[in-house]
Structure 1
Amino acid sequence: MLTIQQANEQLQTAYQKNPGPWVEHSRSVAENARRIAEHTDCIDPDTAYTMGLLHDIGRAAGVSGIRHIFDGYDRMIALGQPTIARICLTHSFPLKNIRAFQGSFDCSKQQLAFLQRFLDSCSYDNYDRLIQLCDALSLPSGACILEKRLVDVALRHGINDLSLEKWSAFLQLKQHFDRLCRCNLYTLLPNVLENSSVDLI
């Protein structure tokens, strides 16, 4: 596993190739994942932080939709980091169905087939689940309530026949980590009230 310093170096290099708010979003995911992990008995905070930093590292290759998860996977495999590579693939899929992705399918049929096989064969652990949750509730400026973020994504990318099932999966993740933390996890995260009060339109 890369150290936090090495992960930060990877993220900084990626930012130089493709600047954008995705980098601060990644830092926010990392911070929120670490804060939640610190209140559990089963998740290493530094590992969670590293995974959060690099979950979107495929965006170094440029603006893209689903392609960024393949670019991230390939980049991490090339570095000998299969655990982080896995997070690059799983972070967008609380539902193990590629059709649940919200965004453009800018990849090949072969890549989609590989992704579905990977998801089908993968047994999610708490790191997969934590980064899925933190990706969904993290803004560049901190966290917001999950429902607000889900509506924000829907307004920008639309919904499909799997959207409600996907939303339910995210809400179940929130409940899962509330139980692991033995509290409402929103109390652990920065700027939840401020970010959740901003108008979406």
Structure 2
Amino acid sequence: MIRLNCTTAESALTWAGQQNPGNWTEHSRFVALACKNIAAQCNDMSADQAYCFGLLHDIGRYAGVSSERHLIDGYRFCMERGWEKAAQICISHAFMIQDIHTSIGTFDVTEEDFQFMKHFIKEAVYDDYDRLVQLCDALALPTGFCILEKRFVDVTIRYGVHPHTVDRWKKVLEIKADFEKKMKGSIYDLLPGVIENSL
């Protein structure tokens, strides 16, 4: 087992980016920083843990260009190292609604993996770390932080409109409201350059 901390998470992402270079690594770094900044304002959360989970949420992309396969690849990568919560978030970050059929991606996985993921998503117990990464995934472009609506449009242009697109947006906005209530302020105040990068 490799102990998960900021150093090991950063090393893992650096290695993963070398295996499959792309904008996803910079996106992951901004997600991680958003997670860290928001968690630091929440009394019951660890900023360092949140940072690690943000860095690793897309780690499955190390295996090459894929759609939903990166979720299960990331899960396995983290489980092999004993990082169980990070492994869960590799899958849960894409399912703010706990139903595999709300996916906006393509299931480029085996039937066995699909059934595993379907059961895993349905039975997973989400906590604030799952929800925080779901939120911060929608706050970060590879070029920096952005308002949620900009990211919503960015993803929809790339993936198209799906039956659950609006429901997913509503869920992310609900998570945003929950965190702002918890920290008694706006999340955007914690994201340097968010307005400039959203224009």
TM-score by length of 1: 0.95
Q: After superposition, what is the alpha-carbon deviation per residue over 1:144-190, rounded to whole angstroms, capped at 9, x for unaligned? A: 11111111111111111111111110110110111111101111112
Tell me the residue number matched to 2:32.
30
Q: After superposition, what is the alpha-carbon deviation per residue over 1:118-139, rounded to whole angstroms, capped at 9, x for unaligned? A: 1111121000000010011111
- 1:86-105 to 2 correspondences below 5 Å: 86-105=88-107
- 1:101-116 to 2 correspondences below 5 Å: 101-116=103-118
| Counterpart residue type for residue 76 of structure 1 | C
What is the CA–CA distance in structure 1 between the aligned matches of 2:150 and 2:169, rounded to whole Å?
Answer: 11
Tell me the residue number matched to 1:83.
85
Given that 1:30 and 1:48 are in contact with CA atoms closer than 8 Å, whether structure 2 keeps it comes out as yes
Q: After superposition, what is the alpha-carbon deviation per residue over 1:58-83, rounded to whole angstroms, capped at 9, x for unaligned? A: 00001110000100001111111111
What SS does the corresponding residue of 1:93 show, helix, strand or coil? Answer: coil
What is the CA–CA distance in structure 2 between the aligned matches of 1:123 and 1:55, rounded to whole Å?
Answer: 17
Moved more, 46-55 or 188-197: 188-197
What is the CA–CA distance in structure 2 between the aligned matches of 1:148 and 1:99, rounded to whole Å?
Answer: 24
Gaps of 5+ in 2: none
- 1:6-155 to 2 correspondences below 5 Å: 6-155=8-157
| Counterpart residue type for residue 183 of structure 1 | G
Task: State the identity %.
Answer: 44
| Counterpart residue type for residue 108 of structure 1 | T
Given that 1:7 and 1:54 are in contact with CA atoms closer than 8 Å, whether structure 2 keeps it comes out as yes
| Counterpart residue type for residue 168 of structure 1 | K
Given that 1:96 and 1:116 are in contact with CA atoms closer than 8 Å, whether structure 2 keeps it comes out as no
Choose which of 169, 176, 179 in structure 1 pairs with 2:178.
176
RMSD: 1.0
TM-score by length of 2: 0.96
Q: How many matched pairs?
A: 197
What is the CA–CA distance in structure 2 between the aligned matches of 1:156 and 1:53, rounded to whole Å?
Answer: 22
Gaps of 5+ in 1: none
Choose which of 131, 146, 161 in structure 2 pairs with 1:159.
161
What SS does the corresponding residue of 2:44 show, helix, strand or coil? Answer: coil
Given that 1:141 and 1:191 are in contact with CA atoms closer than 8 Å, whether structure 2 keeps it comes out as no
What is the CA–CA distance in structure 2 between the aligned matches of 1:191 and 1:140, rounded to whole Å?
Answer: 13
What is the CA–CA distance in structure 2 between the aligned matches of 1:51 and 1:131, rounded to whole Å?
Answer: 7
Given that 1:144 and 1:196 are in contact with CA atoms closer than 8 Å, whether structure 2 keeps it comes out as yes
> Which structure 1 residue ranges, 4+ long, deviate > 4 Å from structure 2?
none
What SS does the corresponding residue of 1:106 show, helix, strand or coil? Answer: coil
